[in-house]
Amino acid sequence: MNIGARVVKNLIKGPFRVVRTFQRLLDPAYRLQHRANLSVKSNIPRDRIKLLEQNPGQSSDRECRLLAHLAMEADKSGSIVEIGAYKGKVTAWLVEAAERTKGEARVISIDPHICGTWEEYQETVQKFELDNRGLKIHKELSHELGQSWEEPISMLLVDGSHEYEDVVTDIDDFVPHVLPSGYVVFDDARGKIFPGVTRAINECMRPRPEFEEVGMIKNFAVFRRKAA
Ligand SMILES: C[S@@+](CC[C@H](N)C(=O)[O-])C[C@H]1O[C@@H](n2cnc3c(N)ncnc32)[C@H](O)[C@@H]1O
């Protein structure tokens, strides 16, 4: 494209870009992701971030940065609970973030690993020495643990079974234990691929008056319990 054509293109697109930038600046979800990128950059060394990003997993690097930010920001007197660990990518990010909080936040990771992910999960645990860094692993279904759950939670990630009944059960079992100002994040909450997740959120999470919806970020639906 010659210079003249490029100038004309920029003149036409310029106003749209300005409007889009303003729209984004007003969007709390966009601002949260922006803060997450900055806080991860300033709290976790660059070579460490690179290592964490190389891990296999289903969440994108951007999503992992957001989760790490929420874990660093959440109330330190509760645990960070991950339902659905898969190969441990998010687990490693959460442990890294928990260490950078001033309190005693620890990470609890729940997954039965019925689809053959246990070995790769263990590789991640060993590579990052997660079990020496306060990680508690539960190789079981979330409901097996959730039905007698009593610990306070500062941040909850719901990314286990995506069936409607199971997501409802996760909400019923764990969400009441989330502390004031604590976060609840649902993965795969956007679109029609996992209708069970969307339905459970609509019916069982959105009506809870003690929570406010922070917004949809990528595939995440993010909620925060109102301050006490
Ligand atoms: C979508 S993957 C999680 C991806 C992971 N958060 C990541 O980003 O790499 C879903 C995981 O949930 C686990 N899972 C399925 N049903 C579960 C349940 N009822 N409780 C806990 N974990 C469950 C599966 O074994 C699988 O590893």
* Segment 100-152, tens digit of pLDDT: 876 666 999 999 999 999 999 999 999 999 999 999 999 999 999 999 999 99
Atom of ligand 1 minimally distant from the CA of 63: 8
Q: Give the span between the Cα atoms of 129 and 136, in whole angstroms.
A: 12
In the predicted model, residues of the chain with pLDDT beneath 50 are none
pLDDT for 103 equals 65
Using CA atoms, how far residue 205 sits from 36, 42, 161, 175, in Å, is 24, 33, 16, 9
How is residue 117 written in tokens?
Answer: 């992910």
pLDDT for 102 equals 66
CATH architecture of 3-225: 3-Layer(aba) Sandwich (3.40)
Ligand 1 neighbourhood includes 110 CB (under 6 angstroms): yes
Pocket mutation for ligand 1, best pick of 60, 110, 111, 141 (most atoms within 8 Å of C-beta): 111
The answer to whether the Cα torsion of 68, 36, 57, 86 is positive or negative is positive
pLDDT for 205 equals 98
Ligand 1 neighbourhood includes 170 CB (under 6 angstroms): no
Is the distance from CB of 228 to CB of 220 less than 8 angstroms?
Answer: no
Q: Give the span between the Cα atoms of 153 and 107, in whole angstroms.
A: 10
Alpha helices in the chain (DSSP H): 3-26, 28-43, 46-54, 61-73, 89-99, 118-127, 142-146, 164-174, 195-200
Residue in this structure with the two tokens 């079990």, named with its chain if needed: 131
pLDDT for 76 equals 78
Q: Give the span between the Cα atoms of 207 and 200, in whole angstroms.
A: 11
Is the distance from CB of 87 to CB of 111 less than 8 angstroms?
Answer: no
Ligand 1 neighbourhood includes 227 CB (under 6 angstroms): no
